[in-house]
Amino acid sequence: MKHILKIMGLLAAISAIWIGLLETSVVPRSYTWLLPIYLIVTLGCYGLLMVGVGLMFFPTCPQEAVLLQQDIAEAREFLIGKAIDVGSD
């Protein structure tokens, strides 16, 4: 619930800034109406950047790989015990 409140607060702040820019004419009106589109494009670029960074620095987990191999070996032994063909190594 806290995350939703943060998002709603951020949207309210951005909306207040946008309406303030519309009312005070600090930025020309023709540019001010495009700010939501710029915001969406910027958020999309940020999202793609975060996905790219996450893929570049994808953590390797050697401990988890060992545990997974142990689980696979256990499952293979269990299935062999039940006379089920699991194939070769």
53 with 79, same domain? no
Question: Is this structure's pTM higher than 0.85?
Answer: no
77 with 50, same domain? no
69 with 43, same domain? no
Over residues 9-13, the mean pLDDT reads 87
40 with 8, same domain? yes
Kindly indicate the confidence band of residue 5, based on its pLDDT and cuts at 50, 70 and 90. Answer: confident
Q: For the chain, how many structural domains are there in total?
A: 2
User: Looking up tokens 């499952």, which residue turns up?
Assistant: 75
Kindly indicate the confidence band of residue 88, based on its pLDDT and cuts at 50, 70 and 90. Answer: low
Q: Which residue has the higher pLDDT, 10 or 35?
A: 10
CA distance 49 to 58: 14
39 with 66, same domain? no
Q: C-alpha distances in angstroms, 51 versus 7, 57, 86?
A: 20, 10, 37
Tell me the pLDDT tens digit for each residue of 33-48.
Answer: 777 788 789 888 988 9
Domain extent at residue 75: 60-89
71 with 31, same domain? no
